[in-house]
Amino acid sequence: MNKVKELPGEAIVTAKQSPSIGNSVFAYIERVRGGDMGALPAVLGLLVLCTVFAIARPAFMTAINIANLFTQGAAVTVIAMGLVFVLLLGEIDLSAGFASGVCAAVLAVTLTNMGLPWYVCVVAAILTGVVIGTVLGTLVAKVGIPSFVVTLAAFLAFQGLVLVLVDEGTNISIRDSVIVAIANKNLPVWLGWALFAACVALYAAVQLIRARRRAKRGLVADPLSLIGARVGALAVIGGVLVYVLNLERSRNPAISSLMGVPIVVPVILVLLVAWTFVLRRTAFGRHIYAVGGNAEASRRAGIGVDRIRISAFVICSSMAAVGGIIAASRASSVDPNTGGSSVLLYAVGAAVIGGTSLFGGKGRVLDAILGGAVVAVIENGMGLMGYGASVKYLVTGFVLLLAAGVDALARKRAAAAGLR
């Protein structure tokens, strides 16, 4: 038998030297060129949009508007975070918007009409989401109806369900101070800074400990300079945001002061950290990626594919419930249109614009936040420019198409690069 020749350009597997920061940057550029764009389009888009709006309308970059961006985009972003799980499997949930509406209606009915304490109502709303997700997931995984059809049916049915819950179109107002505070009140200035410091310290600690452990075992570890750069970037971006949000936003500070980080921001941060941990550090998360990448291979590896599918839908609908609660808080009321109109498409758009693939297997929870920011900036900036709903819809639709196009082209490119 012929001796195998070493193919050119292929190094030995156990190259264990630590990569330098230059290498890491180079590897990143290689990845992007190979079609793995990740969050790059969203970040670039965000920068371009913010620059354009800041120049065209100076009001865009004011503290009050930036704080508005967060509360405006929060509900869609949270729904998008849940959608990432379903999209990772290559499925779709078209009902997430109205699922959030149903859950918000459950919240409003239990809170205002029944007068139950807020925490009971929140649990009821999220449990509603869990039930919805279980039903949808079971229909997709066990019965085998395509998710597009199941959730399209649910999309229609839930519109009716919201109408039933809110008594044919009445508006239920929410007065509970805790629920209203979520999207309308801010953290004290000191707490904002403390939270910021804790986040940066925690991130640095996690990165350092991991690099140290890997280095100790002789595995390739991130160099200190790269960790420093990451932590530094987080500190600068987070620091600037916290600083801006802690500025006085009230037109008349003598009467009422308005400053601090909106409460939704830490809520989203907690969800981001928790779900990122689940996806990146647990076997369950690994299996979600595996099923999205190759369901048959996962089945042969002994993974319960149906169970993974159902849980992804449960996570999606429960996150929709959280999004519904935030939407209800922001509007201080629930009506038949809560979670309706453009909410779902914005949420899918947010996830895809952020870099989650519609073909499954690729995406992060952070993508939903970046994409959510893009969607919120477009909505907000176009509003400031004085454009009506028509132009907003057109532009958002175009951006969504652009993002999906980038995804599809990147996939083609990755396939070409993979078969070099």
Residues 6+ apart with CB under 8 A from 112: 172, 173, 174, 175
Which residue, 44, 27, 165, is CA-closest to 107? 165
Between 15 and 254, whose beta carbon lies closer to another protein?
15
Q: In the complex with another protein, which residue's Cβ is closer, 21 or 64? A: 21
| Least spacing, CB of residue 176 vs another protein, in Å | 34
Q: Which residue, 386 or 418, has its beta carbon nearer to another protein?
A: 418
Nearest CB to another protein, comparing residues 13 and 254: 13
**What is the smallest separation between the CB atom of 5 and another protein, expressed in angstroms?**
7
Tokens of 209: 């400990």
Alpha-carbon separation of residue 278 from 53, 127, 272, 281 (angstroms)? 36, 20, 10, 6
- What is d(CA 102, CA 333) in angstroms, rounded to the nearest whole number? 13
Report CA Rg, the chain: 23
Residue 266 vs residues 170, 270, 288, 335: alpha-carbon distances, Å? 32, 6, 26, 26
User: Residue 383 Cβ, how far from another protein at the closest point, in Å?
Assistant: 38
Structure tokens given for 39: 């969050």
State the amino acid at position 148 in one-letter form. F
Question: In this complex, which beta carbon is closest to another protein, that of residue 241 or of residue 414?
Answer: 414
Residues that bind another protein (CB under 8 A): 1-2, 4-7, 10-15, 34, 213-214, 217, 219-220, 281-283, 286-287, 289-290, 292-294, 296-298, 300-303, 361-362, 414-415, 417-420
Q: Identify the residue whose tokens are 């180079």.
A: 26
CB of 406 to another protein, least distance (A): 17
At closest approach, how far in Å is the CB of 400 from another protein? Answer: 23
Nearer to another protein, 15 or 143 (CB): 15
To the nearest whole angstrom, how small is the minimum distance from the Cβ of residue 287 to another protein?
8
CB 361 → another protein: shortest distance, Å? 4
Q: How far is the CB of 146 from another protein (least distance, A)?
A: 21
Residue 133 to residue 318: CA distance in whole angstroms: 7
Kindly tell me which of 6 and 168 has the beta carbon lying closer to another protein: 6
| Contacts for 239-248: CB closer than 8 Å, 24+ residues apart | 239/196, 241/66, 242/192, 242/193, 242/195, 242/196, 244/63, 244/66, 245/63, 245/66, 245/67, 245/70, 245/186, 245/192, 246/189, 246/192, 246/193, 247/63, 248/63
Closest to another protein by CB, 251 vs 420, is 420
In a 13 Å sphere around the CA of 141, the CA atoms on its Cβ side amount to 21
Cα(19)–Cα(14) distance, integer angstroms: 13
Rounded to a whole number of angstroms, the minimum distance from the CB of residue 276 to another protein is 13
Work out the burial of residue 386: count CB atoms within 10 Å of its CB; fewer than 13 is exposed, 13-18 middle, 19 or more buried.
Answer: exposed
CB nearer another protein, residue 239 or residue 293: 293
